[in-house]
Structure 1
Amino acid sequence: MKLGGREATAYFKSPDAKRTGLLIYGSDGMRVALKRQDVIKALIGPKGDEEMRLVRMPAGDLRKDPAMLLDAVKAVSFFPGPRVAFVEDANDTAAPAILAALEDWAEGDAQIIVTAGQLKATSKIRKAFEAHRNAYAVGIYDDPPGRDEIEGMLKDAGLAQVSRDAMTDLTGLSRELGPGDFRQTIEKLALYKHGDASEVGSADVAACAPQSTEAALDDLLNVVAEAKMGEIHPIMTKLKAQGVQPVGLIIGATRHFKALYAAASDPAGASQGIARLRPPIFGPRRDRMLKQAQGWGAVKLEQALSYLIETDLQLRSAGQTAPQMALVERTLIRLAGLAGKR
């Protein structure tokens, strides 16, 4: 039988121990692995592996020993409780062994959990699970988790109170991160809020979200966007000592001002524009960039981008002889002066 959508999400959290088995397949190995971890843990509990109620086997081994899976399904554990025979990375070369185990399964046997990559509709394994009256097949696609799934992760992590803004941030983050990284972020957030009964806010999400590789440029870009001209040179000197290249500074500045322009020119307003930016911006940094976008306005931001593009072309010109870092600093001072104009 096929499972999809909310039915599949609910089944992963609360599987039926009396089912013959479950096939989980999909092109993203990490997403498949996370769902498999959830369902096996729900079936045998956190100590099931220690109590030898879980038998793992690569699908490739079934070609050499086709009886291996059926033996694991029929074996009796010394410890009481549900058992699982897990076949990893299956394809149709392992189909004979898997289909034989499905056919010979009886109540009280270990449940058969099979994971696989992307399977065609004609796959023997997929067809067997989909046609079986007591087994399920679930396709895992590359769609980001929905709100219900994110709320389930937060609940499992012990985060019951989450503000609306924080949930918006997490939803945006789930679309940018891989499933493993997103789950780690939730776990990190749970540790961050341990012992803190207040609701999760945007600042908490920002503190736990993976940092951008351009994070070191943030101070400089904020100084420029907020017309703090006198602070530009000291920060430029520090960045130069850290090995930051002039072209990298221009690229970072262009990205920052493009984001401000996208927000300032959004028909629904700068606040909605900031919320639509990808990758998403969180917490205090989002509030700061929103204020910058509102202060600059779309017209001045267009002019700022023209200055940055002009400087970028100068840096890449074969005939350019002026010191590159000085060119960049002059442009940033020019932008800061433009920001101060009313």
Structure 2
Amino acid sequence: MKLSRRDAGAVIAKPPTDKLGLLIYGGDAMRVALKRQDYLKALLGDAAEEEMRLTRIPATDLRREPAMLMDAIKAVGFFPGPRAAFVEGANETVAAIIVDTLADWKPGDAQIVVSAGDLKKTSKILKAFEAHREAYALGIYDDPPDRVEIERMLTAAALRADGPVMGALEELSRALDPGDFRQTVEKLSLYKIGDATPLSLEDVTACAPASTEAAVDDILNVVAEAQADQIGPVMRRLQSQGVNAVTLSIQAMRHFRALHRTACNPGAPIYGFRDRDRMMRQSRDWGVAKLEAALGMLTDTDLQLRSAGQTAPAMAIIERTFIRLAMYRAS
């Protein structure tokens, strides 16, 4: 069955032990790896590998030895507790092996956990997991962790956050890659050793990285400061570095949301930016009304980029939006 993001949080946090298993896939390898790690830890506990209750099978090995997965799920372990066979980096070259193994799975067998990159809707692996009543399929996209996920991470790190501090952490999660945000939570956990009080804004500021995505910040500052003539050259440089349109859209949305929050509440802290004074100046220059209109433009662009029927070049779409924003700010 296909897992929605809302349901995925509960399944990742407390996996049912009587299910066949989970397919987790997406274009961001780090996000997929973190979710898979959380699922296996919650399912098997910390000692699974030492107790030989977890079998890791790279997809390249499975292609050479197709029986490995079936042997792994049918094997009887020496230690009590749930078992799992994890296939890493699956693709269509091992699809038939995985699909056949799913068909032969019986209650009491080890769970089958599969990680993969981007899968098309026609993928045999994806179809098999979505169609199976006892299996889950979870797509991981570029959305930042929601409040429930952040609260779960804090609980695991023995941390507490209330009110504006949770809001600051949500903002930080949008500014950082998932791995960097997780490292920040771990840093906060070490920072608060011996201190049972809830996290403060000062704690978050002390542990938050000074900046993120410096190269992308260049184009966002050019747009926010109405330098329309510089957009083309900076976009060419970013494109040559492999930055894609969806990343630019997400980061632009994050940047303008931060400007909007600052315009609405000038005293609020700003996390994940190299130059806070610059952000304050940009926020004042735009004003609340124009920032709300800018967020509307960016939302429309993001929906256009993610549309299945989109045929125009993605980078051209986001560049056109950036030019519109810069000219709108200057008007």
Counterpart of 1:338? none
Counterpart of 2:143? 143
Paired residues for 1:1-342 under 5 Å: 1-160=1-160, 162-212=161-211, 270=263, 272-273=265-266, 275=268, 279-280=272-273
Counterpart of 2:216? none
- Match of 2:138, SS state, is strand
- Match of 1:115, SS state, is strand
Structure 1 residue 210: deviation in Å?
A: 1.4
Distance change >3 Å, CA 267–CA 64, structure 1 → 2: closer
Distance change >3 Å, CA 9–CA 98, structure 1 → 2: same
Structure 1 unaligned segments of length 5 or more: list them. Answer: 214-261, 299-342
Structure 1 residue 168: deviation in Å?
A: 2.0
Counterpart of 1:239? none
- Match of 1:18, SS state, is coil
User: CA separation in 2, counterparts of 1:52 and 1:267?
Assistant: 52
- Match of 1:109, SS state, is coil
Give the partner amino acid of 1:4. Answer: S
Identical residues among aligned pairs (%): 57
Structure 1 residue 211: deviation in Å?
A: 2.7
- Match of 2:265, SS state, is helix
User: CA separation in 2, counterparts of 1:278 and 1:211?
Assistant: 8
Conserved in 1, the CA contact under 8 Å of 2:9 and 2:148? no
Structure 2 unaligned segments of length 5 or more: list them. Answer: 213-254, 288-331
Instruction: Deviation per CA, 1:264-301: give whole Å up to 9, x if none.
Output: xx8987562565967458xxxx9999999999xx9xxx
Instruction: Deviation per CA, 1:32-82: give whole Å up to 9, x if none.
Output: 111111111111111111101000011121221111100111111111111
RMSD: 3.3
Conserved in 2, the CA contact under 8 Å of 1:25 and 1:138? yes
Give the partner amino acid of 2:191. Answer: Y
- Match of 1:60, SS state, is helix
- Match of 1:2, SS state, is coil
- Match of 1:144, SS state, is coil
User: CA separation in 1, counterparts of 2:137 and 2:279?
Assistant: 46
Conserved in 2, the CA contact under 8 Å of 1:20 and 1:112? yes
Name which one, 1 or 2, has greater alpha-carbon Rg. Answer: 1
User: CA separation in 2, counterparts of 1:101 and 1:291?
Assistant: 57
User: CA separation in 2, counterparts of 1:43 and 1:267?
Assistant: 41
Counterpart of 1:236? none
Conserved in 1, the CA contact under 8 Å of 2:21 and 2:112? yes
Aligned length: 245
Give the partner amino acid of 1:117. Answer: G
User: CA separation in 1, counterparts of 2:282 and 2:16?
Assistant: 53
Counterpart of 2:235? none
- Match of 1:197, SS state, is coil
Instruction: Deviation per CA, 1:70-96: give whole Å up to 9, x if none.
Output: 011111111111100000010011011
Conserved in 1, the CA contact under 8 Å of 2:211 and 2:273? no
Distance change >3 Å, CA 202–CA 109, structure 1 → 2: same
User: CA separation in 2, counterparts of 1:25 and 1:294?
Assistant: 37
Distance change >3 Å, CA 274–CA 176, structure 1 → 2: farther
Structure 1 residue 140: deviation in Å?
A: 0.7
* TM-score, with length taken from structure 2: 0.67
Conserved in 2, the CA contact under 8 Å of 1:271 and 1:290? no
Conserved in 1, the CA contact under 8 Å of 2:262 and 2:280? no
Counterpart of 2:329? none
User: CA separation in 1, counterparts of 2:7 and 2:187?
Assistant: 28
Instruction: Deviation per CA, 1:179-237: give whole Å up to 9, x if none.
Output: 01101101111111121122211100011111349xxxxxxxxxxxxxxxxxxxxxxxx
* TM-score, with length taken from structure 1: 0.65
Structure 1 residue 120: deviation in Å?
A: 0.6
Give the partner amino acid of 1:25. Answer: Y
- Match of 1:114, SS state, is strand
User: CA separation in 2, counterparts of 1:279 and 1:170?
Assistant: 11
Distance change >3 Å, CA 276–CA 62, structure 1 → 2: same
